[in-house]
Structure 1
Amino acid sequence: MASYFDDHGLEDPYKARKSNYNNGRSLNPDLSHFMPREDTEDEGNFSSRFPSASGPGSNDFRRLAEMLGAFRVREEPLGDEAHQEFLDNLITQLMDEAGASGKHGPPPASKSFIRDLPFVPLKDVKRDEACIICNENFQENESKAGITKLPCKHFFDRDCIVPWLELHNNCPACRAEVPSDDPDWIKKKRDAELAKYAAEAEIDKDWMYS
């Protein structure tokens, strides 16, 4: 399947990494630059290297696309085409958002939502359960940052999902929304709830007088 880079006639920055695999070197990427770091002043409070205080910019989306690209290249020799396609779709979305400086995509998840992501004990995860983003089996490769679960019940390594949530207030798999601090998103949700309430009240009124 053609990737974003193939479709747009661009050089794929991840293809060069294939030679590392062919030469017997590991394709497991060093993602420390992309991963959240632990705040030593407040234990358990993770602070990402992604968006600045002014909000996400083009480079934030490109860096996350590079992180996912590293996972994609690692997957290719394993033949997991479904997961490669999933990553390609995410990379395409991120590159499109980078071109628009993130103005046309979903807003970031709220800081409190990210801070309060639950820690899931390894014993509560099925033996064949894997992180949806990196596709690593939790039982075989437990992340140092721990495992978490979104309200939609999808499991992730914390160091995979936090960078995504700092740019998007949804699950990368099912697109279920999570809370955001974005004023426009909050207003949109409030207006939708008011419209729903008004519609339900109108139905009750019609039923009462029918």
Structure 2
Amino acid sequence: MSSYYDDHSLEDPFKARQSNNRSLNPDLSHFMPNEDDEISSSSNRLPPGTTPRASDFRRLAEMFGAFREREEPLGDEAHQEFLDNLITQLMDEAGASGKHGPPPASKSFIRDLPFVAQKELKSDEACIICNENFHENEFKAGITKLPCKHFFDRDCIVPWLELHNNCPACRAEVPSDDPDWIKKKREAELAKYAAEAEIDEDWMYS
């Protein structure tokens, strides 16, 4: 299965970091905020009003790449392919400075992400992004759920939502503060209401 780097004849930075004794739980601490950071893992890492930069997309691609490399010895090809697709999207968006992808989720949506208790989940339930079982994970920022009912570790989904207003699994949209997105959403709603009104009028006079 070829990756983004194979398709573009680039050196894969994730494989370059591998050692002979690769851990199945790679150190991702440099992707996550420190305890001394002013911004917690459950809030936006990007300062308010900041437009995502190419480096933000590359950093998240690198984080997902660490998860992808962990899947190779485990043989989970389906999850590795899922991560490959996300990495490809992120690297393409980095090359386009994020201008051609979806906008970030709204600050309030990210801030108000619900916390989900482990006891509410099945024993084999795992985060869609990192593929770690929720019941074996005691050290992350918690579990959350998007409106589409998909569950994630907060540490995995918040960085994605800071760059995209959709679910990485099913692509269901969530609210955004982006003016163009708000305008497009409003126009779609008006068009829907107009179409429904026309149907009602035709029914009345038919």
CA shift in 2, pair 1:41/1:27, >3 Å = closer
What's the counterpart of residue 114 of structure 1?
110
Q: Does 1:138 align with 2:134?
A: yes
Q: Does 1:150 align with 2:146?
A: yes
What's the counterpart of residue 15 of structure 1?
15
What's the counterpart of residue 28 of structure 2?
31
Take 2:173 and 2:35, find their aligned partners in 1: how far apart are those partners? 26
**AA paired with 2:31?**
F
CA shift in 2, pair 1:176/1:30, >3 Å = same
* Local SS of the residue matching 1:139: helix
Match of 1:79 among 57, 75, 82: 75
Q: Say what the alpha-carbon RMSD is for the aligned residues.
A: 2.0
Quote how far apart the aligned CAs of 1:140 are: 1.3
CA shift in 2, pair 1:58/1:4, >3 Å = same
CA shift in 2, pair 1:39/1:146, >3 Å = farther
Quote how far apart the aligned CAs of 1:24 are: 2.7
Q: Does 1:171 align with 2:167?
A: yes
Q: Does 1:64 align with 2:96?
A: no
Quote how far apart the aligned CAs of 1:41 are: 7.4
**AA paired with 1:124?**
E
Take 1:45 and 1:108, find their aligned partners in 2: how far apart are those partners? 17
CA shift in 2, pair 1:40/1:4, >3 Å = closer
* Local SS of the residue matching 2:152: strand
CA shift in 2, pair 1:51/1:103, >3 Å = farther
CA shift in 2, pair 1:36/1:192, >3 Å = farther
**AA paired with 2:25?**
N
Take 1:141 and 1:45, find their aligned partners in 2: how far apart are those partners? 16
- TM-score normalised by structure 2 residue count: 0.93
Quote how far apart the aligned CAs of 1:169 are: 0.3
The share of aligned pairs that are identical, in percent, is 84
Kept in 1, the 8 Å contact 2:166–2:173? The answer is yes
Take 2:202 and 2:22, find their aligned partners in 1: how far apart are those partners? 70
For structure 2, list consecutive stretches of 5 or more residues without a partner in the other structure.
none
Kept in 2, the 8 Å contact 1:180–1:186? The answer is yes
Kept in 2, the 8 Å contact 1:171–1:177? The answer is yes
CA shift in 2, pair 1:181/1:39, >3 Å = farther
CA deviation map 1:79-129 (0-9, x unaligned) = 000000000000000000000000000000000000000000110011010
**AA paired with 2:163?**
L
Take 1:86 and 1:185, find their aligned partners in 2: how far apart are those partners? 26
Take 2:187 and 2:160, find their aligned partners in 1: how far apart are those partners? 26
- TM-score normalised by structure 1 residue count: 0.91
